[in-house]
Amino acid sequence: MVLHNRIALFRAERTISRRELAEAVGVNNQTIGYLERGDYKPSLELAMKIAQHFGVSVEMLFSFQRFESIAMPLKRVEEEE
């Protein structure tokens, strides 16, 4: 089963590098790259550490369903206005 994630998005939003995130959660910076590309599924501990670092719930970062693109909510807001 594919585990989708939004680590790259959160990282870009907070303007932190892979290395900074890696150091904060105690892994090799290559591992962050593997996670972002979906080449590696993290342990519950690592997933929770990353979520804690960004101050969000695990579900905000990881999902079995594909995450909605950023453009869609923006489009909806624009339509509502």
Question: Considering the rule CB under 8 A, would residue 5 count as an interface residue with other proteins?
Answer: no
- Work out how close the CB of 41 gets to other proteins at its nearest, in angstroms, rounded to a whole number: 9
Sign of CA dihedral 56, 57, 60, 61: positive
- Work out how close the CB of 70 gets to other proteins at its nearest, in angstroms, rounded to a whole number: 21
Question: Considering the rule CB under 8 A, would residue 40 count as an interface residue with other proteins?
Answer: yes
Tell me how far CA of residue 40 lies from CA of 26, 56, 63, in angstroms. Answer: 16, 21, 14
Other C-beta atoms lying within 10 Å of the C-beta of residue 44: 8
Question: Considering the rule CB under 8 A, would residue 30 count as an interface residue with other proteins?
Answer: yes
- Work out how close the CB of 2 gets to other proteins at its nearest, in angstroms, rounded to a whole number: 16
Residues of the shown chain interacting with other proteins in the complex, contacts defined by CB under 8 A: 19, 26-31, 33-34, 37, 39-40, 42-43, 45-46
